[in-house]
Amino acid sequence: MGLWSNELSGSIPEGLFNSTVQLRYLSLTYNSLSGAIPESIAFLPKLTVLLLGDNMLSGPMPPAMFNMSALQFLSTALNNLSGTIPGNGRIGSLQQLTTIALGINPLVGKIPAEMGIITGLVALDFSECMLEGDIPSELGTLVQLTWLNLGINSFTGQIPASLGNLSLVAVLDLSANNLSGAVPMTMGDMRSLQYFAISNNFLNGHVPTCLGNLTALQYFIASENNITGNMPITLTNLSSLVVMDIHQNQISGTIPVSLTNMMSLRMLDASINRMLGSIPTHIGRLSSLQQLDLSHNSFDGHLSAHVGSLKAIILMNLSDNHLSGSLPVSLGQLNELAYLNLSNNIIQDIVPDIFGKMISLIVLDLSYNKLSGPIPTSLANLTYLISLNLSFNKFIGRIPDGGMFSNITLQSLMGNPALCGLSRLGFLPCPNNEQKSRSSKLWLLKFLLPLAVAIGMISICLYLKIRRSKHGEQLILVEDALNYRLISYHELVRATSNFCVDNLIGSGSFGKVFKGQLDDGSVVAIKVLDMQHEGASKSFDIECRALRMARHRNLVKILSTCSNLDFKALILKYMPNGSLERWLPLSGNQPLDMLQRLNIVLDTAMAMAYLHHEHFEVVLHCDLKPSNVLLDEDMVAHVADFGIARLLLGDGNSMVSASMPGTVGYMAPGNNRDDFITSLFLCVLC
């Protein structure tokens, strides 16, 4: 019986299963069921799979549930179930159990030590409950485990050294508890570990050097603890590491130079520690790095010009250190950089004019340094810049006009007494250097004007001569520019064999999506709007507006449009691996492995975080679901279909209608990054 993802409400009838003794599979997930779990479920002798997650069920779990000896998969996660996890031989009697997920319920008490005798367990998730006490060392006997999530509880004591026996575990999450003591050296024996989270505890001691043995590790999250000592050089052996988050600890010493060998690293956050020395010169070798946060440390020396090689970087925060020297000109080459904070250092000299070419920049903070010279007028050309802080430096001269400077506040410029202009902020007017004496003007007219006329005549003659020889070449260049990305209706007809059904790859409420090959040979996805639908034209406009200024690797890119009164189409980048929906377990395809799931979650979360927090307008997707997450040839996730998106102003005070359209059965995530990552993670997992 599979009734998942409907709109079922009310309680589960007590007698519903009285005559279903042959039932082996029962799924009621993703509904709105309430009330208690009926005890009659516990008397289904052949039931092997019981899925009740993501409802509003309440009360304790029936004690008889833990006598279901045939049960292999039990999930009651994401409900409001209370009570304890029963011991005294009850839960230990579920000897056939391979997966148990009770997370995100207000369960209390301890984990029974007898969990350790269910030796066939593969996945155990008790996350986001209210469990307490020690983590039983008996869990170390579950040698078949691949997934262990005990995060966001109130566990105390130390991390059991016996967990090092779990050599098959790929995901271990102990974050957001009250654990103390040092990380056991035995953790280095968990050779299959890919995701290791111990953040937000009271752990101390050094980072164990044995973690360098975890060659499969991709996510190491140990932030917000009391970990001390140096960053072990053995960590640089983790060539597969994607995220290293060790912020807000008491780690000291320097960054090992060999860190630059971690070529897969996307995020490095070592902020709010006691690290010192210089930032490694060759940090630019980390070609995949997207986020670098070394703020609130004691780093010194010059910022190397090699930072200009971080072509994928989106966020760079080096504030509150002792960096000196000049700003590297190479920073201006970082076209993807959206957030740059170098405040509270002792950087001097001028701001290079090339900073005006960082076209994706949204936040720029250079405050509390010793920068001098004029403010580059090129900064006014940064279209997406919404936060600029140049306060408490030594800038001189006229404050630029236009762009960000049209609405800039005094707080962004104060502490620079030699600036002038912008009387609305209280700065003195700039001196008029164009006033000259009458004799100087006459001298200019008498001698310089004839010279200028002569030079002008010569220039015109040369221009006419060159123009004739270059006329043909210019016509070609102009024609190329005019035809760039312009795709006609007839080319779309050819590309799709007249929108043949054989090329149809998807359909929705506002139209259909076809695969097509353009005249230049490129393969694209063509979203054709159904103009008979009342909202199609509005959907087209919304999607264009939502993505016209969005620049992110995890958003589907609009290559071009084709639009007239009777026909509207979006030409999108083609995604060979289709949507996430086709890769979920019920689709019949080969299931995603753990690494692919984690990467898809990270990619989708980064796209949503960009739209919610980093885009110049807040974009609410309103219809995020597996079918709207597309996968390219490398299985990189791209969020698509913004036809019913909502755009807010960047001030955070705008209101959205309480009636939000979307797919029935889905709830759009809140405008909170952590809530979103949690909900999407559970979605992909299930």
If residue 628 lies in a helix (H) or strand (E), which one and from where to where?
none
Q: Is the pLDDT of residue 680 over 60?
A: no
Per-residue pLDDT band for 457 (boundaries 50, 70, 90) equals low
pLDDT at 84 (0 to 100) = 94
* Two tokens, residue 589: 């395809």
Distances (CA, A) of 58 to 34, 44, 421: 7, 21, 65
Per-residue pLDDT band for 464 (boundaries 50, 70, 90) equals very low
Q: Is the pLDDT of residue 658 over 60?
A: no
Q: Which residues pair with 513 in a beta bridge?
A: 506, 527
Q: Is the pLDDT of residue 2 over 50?
A: yes
If residue 133 lies in a helix (H) or strand (E), which one and from where to where?
strand 132-134
Question: Do 189 and 161 form a contact (C-beta atoms < 8 A)?
Answer: no
- 346-376 confidence digits (pLDDT tens): 999 999 999 999 999 999 999 999 999 999 9
Residues 6 or more apart whose Cβ sits within 8 Å of residue 634: none
Per-residue pLDDT band for 485 (boundaries 50, 70, 90) equals low
Question: Do 384 and 410 form a contact (C-beta atoms < 8 A)?
Answer: no
Question: Do 299 and 320 form a contact (C-beta atoms < 8 A)?
Answer: no
- 380-411 confidence digits (pLDDT tens): 999 999 999 999 999 999 999 989 999 999 99
Q: Is the pLDDT of residue 460 over 60?
A: no
Nearest Cα to Cα of residue 376 among 361, 423, 425:
361
Radius of gyration of the chain (CA): 31
Per-residue pLDDT band for 163 (boundaries 50, 70, 90) equals very high
Q: What is the CATH number of the domain that holds 599?
A: 1.10.510.10
Per-residue pLDDT band for 459 (boundaries 50, 70, 90) equals low
* Two tokens, residue 243: 């995220």
pLDDT at 558 (0 to 100) = 82
- 255-285 confidence digits (pLDDT tens): 998 888 899 999 999 999 999 999 998 898 9
Q: Is residue 674 part of a domain?
A: yes
Q: Is residue 471 part of a domain?
A: no
Question: Do 311 and 288 form a contact (C-beta atoms < 8 A)?
Answer: no
Residue that is written with structure tokens 């102003």 in the block: 649
pTM: 0.66
More confident residue, 17 or 163: 163
- 616-631 confidence digits (pLDDT tens): 567 777 778 888 899 9
Nearest Cα to Cα of residue 51 among 28, 81, 70:
28
Split into its structural domains, the chain has a count of 1
Q: Is residue 659 part of a domain?
A: yes
Per-residue pLDDT band for 432 (boundaries 50, 70, 90) equals confident
Q: Is residue 623 part of a domain?
A: yes
pLDDT at 679 (0 to 100) = 54
* 308-312 mean pLDDT: 93
Q: Is residue 595 part of a domain?
A: yes
Nearest Cα to Cα of residue 31 among 682, 621, 666:
666
Per-residue pLDDT band for 532 (boundaries 50, 70, 90) equals confident
* 293-320 mean pLDDT: 95
| Per-chain mean pLDDT for the chain | 84
Query: 527 among the known binding-site residues?
Result: yes
Q: Is residue 662 part of a domain?
A: yes
Domain residues for the domain of 587 are 582-685
Q: Is residue 339 part of a domain?
A: no
Question: Do 314 and 359 form a contact (C-beta atoms < 8 A)?
Answer: no
Q: Is the pLDDT of residue 546 over 80?
A: no
* Two tokens, residue 534: 């009342």
Distances (CA, A) of 538 to 525, 530, 533, 556: 20, 11, 10, 19
- 187-239 confidence digits (pLDDT tens): 999 999 999 999 999 999 998 899 999 999 999 999 999 999 999 888 888 98
* Low-confidence winner among 140-144, 176-180, 545-549 (lowest mean pLDDT): 545-549
* Low-confidence winner among 26-30, 544-548, 666-670 (lowest mean pLDDT): 666-670
Per-residue pLDDT band for 538 (boundaries 50, 70, 90) equals confident
Q: Which residues are catalytic?
A: 623
Per-residue pLDDT band for 648 (boundaries 50, 70, 90) equals low
Q: Is residue 131 part of a domain?
A: no
**pLDDT-above-70 percentage for the chain:** 83
